[in-house]
Amino acid sequence: MGDTRRNKHYTTIAFRVMQSFLEAGFILKEDIIKAQWNTQTEGLWANLSRNKNFLLIMHEHLFVFRKPALDEKLRPYAESMRWW
């Protein structure tokens, strides 16, 4: 899942999706970050980023969630669950 820019500001789509899953009761098991490199349009965006003064978004997130069992003790996973 990638992020984007809106009105010259970084918009974290990935973390909003993660928040929705945590609110639904899932537990975050892994956050795999995929670095993007050597893409077909990398040269074009590298030049645009220098000219327009913004940093490239060069990663995507792959969140791995799990649903806890009904009688599972959740205290060991408190830091991987909804914290707000």
pTM of structure = 0.74
Domain boundaries, the chain: 4-80
Q: What is the pLDDT of residues 28-65, one digit of tens each?
A: 999 998 877 666 656 666 667 677 766 666 778 899 99
What confidence score (pLDDT) does residue 63 get? 95
pLDDT of residue 3: 81
Contact 82, 22 (CB under 8 A): yes
DSSP 66: E
Question: Taking all residues of the chain, what is their mean pLDDT, rounded to a whole number?
Answer: 85
